[in-house]
Amino acid sequence: MIDCENRIRLDAYHDGELSPAEQSIVEAHVLDCPSCAAELAAMRGMSKAFAATTPLAPSHEQLLQLARNIRAGPSDDRMLIRLFRRTAVAAAALLACAIAGGIFLSQRTKAAAHEAMVLDYVATRSLPSAFATDPVSGERQSEQQVAMAQWIADDLRGR
């Protein structure tokens, strides 16, 4: 039986875990292999022995002892629980930082886009007056620049 390749399949066959095609293969093998047939018979005998017994209910003292053992428990279990809790807290903090960073970068990107729009607006509004040659338009240019500066300041303040 030690050298037989079908040992794993024999366990699965006994447990009813094989497909019908695989069951047929194992059944044919058991007919030709005396060690597998003996192993299968031993498995069936063990299953019958366990099926014939009824489990005993634990006594009150046994349940109390079990509860004491669980409460006392090995310190390794408690250490693992503490480690998992700390890991969960660290993961939550890391997630919160990642979300905050994403929001920050999103706002920075939004601000940069807004700044680009303002600069584009300034560039397109300033060009025609920059090429003006008459004295009246120079005065108008100064008014436009003041108005533009006010608009930029109000825009940056969020008004």
Tens digit of each residue's pLDDT, the chain (159 residues): 456 777 778 888 888 888 999 999 889 988 988 888 888 999 998 888 888 887 778 888 988 888 887 777 666 667 778 888 889 999 999 999 999 988 888 877 777 777 777 777 766 665 554 455 555 555 666 777 777 777 777 777 666
Residues 129/134/139/142 CA torsion (nearest 10 deg): 30
- The pLDDT assigned to 144 comes to 72
Would you say 9 and 26 are in contact if contact means Cβ atoms under 8 Å apart?
yes
Extract the tokens encoding 56.
């005993």
Closest Cα to residue 42, out of 80, 1, 71? 1
The pLDDT tens digits for 85-122 are 889 999 999 999 999 988 888 877 777 777 777 777 76
Instruction: With residue 60 as reference, give the H or E element that holds it.
Output: helix 60-72
Longest CA–CA span in the chain (Å) reads 116
**How many alpha carbons fall within 13 Å on the CB side of residue 56?**
5
Extract the tokens encoding 136.
């009246």
